[in-house]
Structure 1
Amino acid sequence: MTPRTIWLLAALLCAAFVSGAEAEEPHGGHQAEEAGAGAPPAPPLPEPRASALPGAGALLSGLFQVQDSIVQGDRGALKLQADILKMMREQLLAMRGTPILPSTDIAPVLLFGLAGGDPVAAVQVLTFVPEDHPEAGLTQAVVDYLRRDTRSAVVRFETIDPLALPQPLGAYVAMAKANSAMATRRDVAALNFNLVRLLAPGTLLEEVALRRLVWLNAGNGDAAAFYRVAGSYANRFATSPYFGQFLKFFMDGAVKLPTDEGIRAVLDLLPEDARIALKMRLSRQAVIAGREDLADIVSSSLLNDLADSADDRVQRAHLYAGMTQVAKGRLLQAWGMLKHVRRESVPAEDRELLDAALNAVREATDGDPESADIITSALGGAPDGAAAGESETDGGGPGAAEAAARGLSAESAAPAQRDEPTGDAGMKAQSASSMEAEAMTDLQPLMDEASRQLEAVDELLRNLPK
C-alpha cells in the first residue's frame, strides 16, 4: 500500500470517527447566538436520523472521489476503491441481524450496494428494513436489483422517481433503474441513462451511462444518436480504464448501422494510438461484412493517418484499402494499392485475403491491369481514375486521356449531352462505338472470369474469422 493510500485511508477513518461521534450527540455544537434582544428564539433543529452505518458518510464521500479519479485515468485509484469498499463491507457484516427502525437512515447501505460494494453484504442488512420504513419500497427494488432479479426490479422501480431522492442517491437509483430495464424496456433504460448524465456529470456514473447508451443506440438502430453519444464519450472519457469496452461497442455498432457522417467526428476525437488501432480493425471488419462504403471511408482515413509511417501497419492499411476497391470493382485502384503489399508483412489471418485479392485482379485483367478500366465499368464499378459522379466533357480532360489510351476518340469518351452528331463527327462517333463494342466482345470471357473471381473473394470474406 502506497504512502498516499495510507494517508487517505487514515483521513477517511478519522472523518468517519468524527461523523459517528457527532451522530451520537444530536444536540451537539454551539447554540446560535441571538440576533437581537427582541428576536424570537430559533426553532429547534430536527432530530437527525440514526444511520444504519455510522461514519459511512465520510467513507462514501471518499469512495465517490476515488471513482471519479478512476475515470480520469488514475489506475492507482482502483486499489483505493477496493480498500474503501472492503472497510464498509466489514462494518455491514458486523451489524447483520441488527434491527432497523422506521427512523433509521438506510441511505448509506443503499449507496454501498449501488456503488459497487458487496451485494450480498448489502442485501443481508437491507432485508431487515421494516415495511413501515419510509424507504421500504425503494429498498425492495434495490434488493431485487442486487439479487439480479431484473424483472421484479423493473416493476418495483416504476414507482420510484430518482429526482425526488437526495443526491447522489438519486443518480445511483437512476443507474440501477436503467440497468434493470436494458433487456426488456429499452426506452426506460435510455431515459434513465440520460437522467444519470444530468444528475452526475463528469463522474463514473456518467461514464457508465454514456458507454451503455452507445450499446443501446446501436441495438435500436439509431445511427444519429449512436454517433452523437459516442462522440461525447470519446471527447470526455478516453482515459477511462473501460475505454476498451467502449471501442468494442463502437466498432460493432459502426459495422451494423448505416454509414453516417458522424463516424468521422468520432474517429477524429480518439487518441492517436487508439484511433489507428480502431481504424485498422474496423477496416477489416467492414470489408468482411460487405460494408464497402464504410470500409472506403475508414481505410482512406487510415492511409492518411499513416502517410508518414513506414511500418507494417502501412502494409495492412493498403491491403484493406485495396480489398475495398476490389469489392467496388475498381480494379486499377485496387492493383495500385495491393501490388506494394509484402505478404510477410501482414498477419497470417490476412494472407489469404491478400492472395485472393491479387488473384482476382490478375485474372480480371489477364495479367494486364491497364485493361481494368473497361472491365471495371462492365462489372458495375465506378470508372478508375475518376471520382464517382464526375463528368468529363472537356476535350482535354482526363476522360479524353483515358479514351486515347484505349484507342478511342474524346467524343466517345465524353457523355453525350448534345444533339446527335452528323457528318464526319458522326462517323467518328460510330467508329469509336464499334471499336469499344469489339473490345468488349473480345474481353467477354475475361470479364466472366473476373466476375467469378470477385464472387470467390466475396465467399472468402464471408467465411473469414471475425
Structure 2
Amino acid sequence: MNLRPLAALGMMLLAVDAAANESSRPADAAPEPAVEQEAEPLAAPSPLQMVRTLHLMQDQIATGSTEAHVGQRGLLGVLDIRFMELAPEAWQNGKNVHAAVSFVLSGGNPAILRKLLELGSTVVTENDRPLVEGALAYVEGREEAAHNALMSLDARTFPPTMSAQLALVQSALAVRKDPAKSDALLDFVRLQAPGTLLEEAALRRQVFVASQTDHVEKFYFLATGYLRRFRHSVYAGNFRQRLASVATRIDFGQEKSRFDGFVEMMKELEPNARRDLYLLAARASVEQGFTRSARLLAEKVKDLVEGDPAGAARARLYRAASMITSPEDIKAAVEDLRQIDRSLLSESDTALLDSAIAMAGHIQTMPGAPAVVADKPKPLLMKAADKTEDASSQAQALEQLQALSKARDALSRVDKLIKNQAPVTQ
C-alpha cells in the first residue's frame, strides 16, 4: 500500500487543525515559554475541518490536477473511517451534521448519514431531517424520495458551500420536469461557489440545460466561459464530448447569429479539437437534413485540414452531400463526390458517400430533373415566386420543390440508418 497519500493527508489535516488553534488564541496572549515540557496531543480535526480539506483537494481537480484526482480516493477512504469513529456527542452540533451531508454529497460513504438517522432526534433535528434523508436518497439513486425531501428546502438559508451543494442537487432533480428552475439553480451555484469544483460542475451542466431549452446565446456564453476557465479540468474531456453531442443537434443555418456565435466559441479550442468538432457537426447536419448548416461547417473547416488529407476528404464529402438537393449546385456536387479518394474515408463515411451519390442519381432521374442539372438551369423556383408568371410555371416549380424536399428527407433517413448500422470511427 502506498503510504504517501496518507502521509500527505495527515499533514493537511494537522495544518488545518493547527491553523484553527492558532486563530483561537487571543491576540495579546503571551508566547509559549521556550522550556521543555511534555507535548500535548493535537486535538482531532472536526468534521467541518475534514470536509474543508476534502473540498480544497477537489477544487484542485477543477484546475486540472491529476494528483488531486488520484489522491481524492485515498482521502475519502480515510475520512470515511474518521467520520464513522466519531462519538455520538460530536453529532449534536448541527454544523457537524451539515458537514456529514456535505461529505456524502462530495463522494463520501453514505453510511454515515444512515448512522446519524439511527441516532435519532438528539442528533438529527426535525429541521435537518429533510436535508439528511434527502441527501441519502439522492446518493442512493432514490430520485422520487430525494425530490420530495429536498425540493422544498431553500438553499439560500444554508452556509455558502452547503447551499451550493444543495442547489446543485436540486437542479439535477428538477432538470427533466422544470429546466428553467434547474437553470436558475445552476446560476445560483456559480455565484455562490466561484472558482470551485462546484462552479465547474454547475457550469458543465448548465451548458446543456441551455441547449435543451434552446437558449442558444446563453449556451454559447456558458460554453465559452467553461473553455476559458476550466479547460484543464479533469472533467473537461467529458465536457467536450457532451459539447460535441449538442453541436450535432443545432441547425446553424437557421440564423446567421447562431453560426457566428458557434465560430466565436470554437476559437477557445485548440485547432485540432476545433477541426474535429466542425467535422462532427457537419456530418450530423448532413444526416439531419440541415443542408445550409452542413455547408457552412464544412467550408469553415477548410483552413483547419491543411496537411490532413483525411480531414480534407471528409470536409469535401459533407459539403458536397449538403449540396445535392440544390438545383444550382447538384451537378458540381456530384462531380465532387466522385472525385473523393475513398481510401481516406472511414467505413461510415464511405457509406455516406455511396448514399449521397445514389440519392443524387435518384434526384436527377425525377420529373423535371433535366432543368435542374442542365448547364444553364432554368430558374423555375425563382419563377414560382414571381407573380407575373403563369399558373402552370408556378405549379411546376412547386412540384419540383416538393420533390427536392422529399429527396432531402430521404437522404436524411438513409444516413441515419447507416449511422445506426455502421460504427463511426472518427
Q: TM-score, normalised by structure 1?
A: 0.69
| Alpha-carbon distance change, 343 to 248 in structure 1, aligned in 2, over 3 angstroms | same
Aligned residue identity for 1:304: D
Residue 358 (1) aligns with residue 357 (2): yes
Deviates more, 1:246-255 or 1:170-179: 246-255
- Equivalent residue number for residue 9 of structure 2: 9
- Equivalent residue number for residue 463 of structure 1: 417
Larger Rg: 1
| Alpha-carbon distance change, 19 to 321 in structure 1, aligned in 2, over 3 angstroms | same
Q: Secondary structure at the match of 2:92?
A: coil
Aligned residue identity for 2:63: Q
Q: CA deviation at 1:291?
A: 1.5
| Alpha-carbon distance change, 29 to 188 in structure 1, aligned in 2, over 3 angstroms | same
Write the distance in 1 (CA, Å) between the matches of 2:374 and 2:275. 31
Number of residue pairs the alignment of both structures matches: 384
Residue 149 (1) aligns with residue 142 (2): yes
Q: CA deviation at 1:449?
A: 11
Write the distance in 2 (CA, Å) between the matches of 1:103 and 1:304. 60
Q: Secondary structure at the match of 1:309?
A: coil
Write out per-residue CA displacement over residues 156-215 of structure 1, whole angstroms, 9 at most, x where no aligned residue: 334433333222222112212222222333232211111011011222111211121122
Q: CA deviation at 1:225?
A: 2.6
Write the distance in 2 (CA, Å) between the matches of 1:372 and 1:328. 13
- Is residue 68–residue 202 contact of structure 1 (8 Å, CA) maintained in 2? yes
Unmatched 5+ stretches in structure 2: 31-42, 253-257, 421-426
- Equivalent residue number for residue 267 of structure 2: 268
What RMSD in Å do the two structures reach over aligned CA positions? 4.1
Write out per-residue CA displacement over residues 238-295 of structure 1, whole angstroms, 9 at most, x where no aligned residue: 2223233323433333343453232222222222222222222211111111111321
Q: CA deviation at 1:103?
A: 5.7
- Equivalent residue number for residue 307 of structure 2: 309
Residue 67 (1) aligns with residue 66 (2): no
Write the distance in 2 (CA, Å) between the matches of 1:285 and 1:181. 29
Q: Secondary structure at the match of 2:222?
A: helix
Q: CA deviation at 1:109?
A: 0.9
Q: CA deviation at 1:357?
A: 2.5
- Equivalent residue number for residue 37 of structure 2: none
Q: CA deviation at 1:460?
A: 1.9
Residue 119 (1) aligns with residue 117 (2): no
Q: Which has the higher contact order (CA 8 A, sep 6+)?
A: 2
- Equivalent residue number for residue 176 of structure 2: 183
| Alpha-carbon distance change, 151 to 458 in structure 1, aligned in 2, over 3 angstroms | closer
- Equivalent residue number for residue 282 of structure 2: 283
Q: Secondary structure at the match of 1:184?
A: coil
- Is residue 67–residue 81 contact of structure 1 (8 Å, CA) maintained in 2? yes
- Equivalent residue number for residue 237 of structure 2: 244
Aligned residue identity for 1:80: G
- Is residue 210–residue 219 contact of structure 2 (8 Å, CA) maintained in 1? yes
- Is residue 96–residue 124 contact of structure 1 (8 Å, CA) maintained in 2? no
- Is residue 100–residue 112 contact of structure 2 (8 Å, CA) maintained in 1? no
Write the distance in 2 (CA, Å) between the matches of 1:364 and 1:136. 67
Identity %: 21
Write out per-residue CA displacement over residues 392-431 of structure 1, whole angstroms, 9 at most, x where no aligned residue: xxxxxxxxxxxxxxxxxxxxxxx99xxx9xxxxxxxxxxx
Write out per-residue CA displacement over residues 82-137 of structure 1, whole angstroms, 9 at most, x where no aligned residue: 11111111112334877842666323212211212223344433553525466444
Structure 1 residues 283-362: aligned runs within 5 Å: 283-306=282-305, 308-329=306-327, 330-335=329-334, 337-361=336-360
Aligned residue identity for 2:62: V
- Is residue 364–residue 375 contact of structure 1 (8 Å, CA) maintained in 2? no
Q: CA deviation at 1:6?
A: 5.9
Aligned residue identity for 1:117: G
- Is residue 16–residue 58 contact of structure 1 (8 Å, CA) maintained in 2? yes
Select the structure that is richer in helix: 2
| Alpha-carbon distance change, 350 to 103 in structure 1, aligned in 2, over 3 angstroms | closer
- Is residue 289–residue 409 contact of structure 2 (8 Å, CA) maintained in 1? no
Write the distance in 2 (CA, Å) between the matches of 1:360 and 1:55. 70
- Is residue 214–residue 226 contact of structure 1 (8 Å, CA) maintained in 2? yes
| Alpha-carbon distance change, 451 to 91 in structure 1, aligned in 2, over 3 angstroms | closer
Deviates more, 1:224-233 or 1:92-101: 92-101
